[in-house]
Amino acid sequence: MALTDPADEDPLLRPARMRLLGAAGALLRSEFLLTSWRVSGLRLLGAQLGSENMVLAGVRVTYPPGLRTGSRFFVNVGCMLDSFGGIDIGDDVSVGPNTSLLTTTHEPGTSSRRAGARTYRPVRIGHGVWLGASVTVLPGVSVGDGCVVGAGSVVTADLAPDHLYAGSPARQIRALS
């Protein structure tokens, strides 16, 4: 589900739209907002969210229309969901605090500016996945159904279903029954 680059939008509308998304995003990250209101707010901004989802304070969603979740999705405090390239999350997924799901990267640029043109690659998180605290999932990666990814891991490649992974880069530790 690749989305268009926000920079390609109508130049007259882009500043107002980005200010609106920024203000709405700041409100949704507030610790004074009820979880159900955060979920409702993300839906109003274009996210496709399943039922019984919980989004705790401090969660940042960069582009709500690029986020699609199943039911019973739980995302803990301080997470970053960079959804410009599309994030697809299955049912019964739990995401630990300060985890990042990233879909935006850059082509290598010239020596005067190494971060070249932006590119977007979708992230897919399967059903029943548990991502521990401070996990980073890089652009273009799929995490298979039933995986557990240990705290602090960096997921750089696709993960097979029903396994425990840990480390940087994340490595298969053992199969799960």
pLDDT of residue 1: 40
What is the per-residue pLDDT across 73-110, written as a single tens digit (0 to 9) for each?
Answer: 999 999 999 999 999 999 999 999 999 999 999 999 89
* Res. 2 pLDDT band, cuts 50 70 90: very low
Q: What is the pTM of this model?
A: 0.83
Of 32, 118, 79, 78, which Cα lies nearest the Cα of 69? 79
Q: What are the extents of the domains in the chain?
A: 6-175
Whether residue 89 contacts residue 72, with contact meaning beta carbons closer than 8 Å, is answered with no
- Cα(89)–Cα(137) distance, rounded to whole angstroms? 13
106 part of the active site: yes
Given 14, 19, 106, 114, the catalytic residue: 106
Summary mean pLDDT of the chain: 88
Round to whole Å and give the CA distance between 54 and 74: 5
Q: Which fold has domain 6-175?
A: UDP N-Acetylglucosamine Acyltransferase; domain 1 (2.160.10)
Position 9 scores a pLDDT of 57
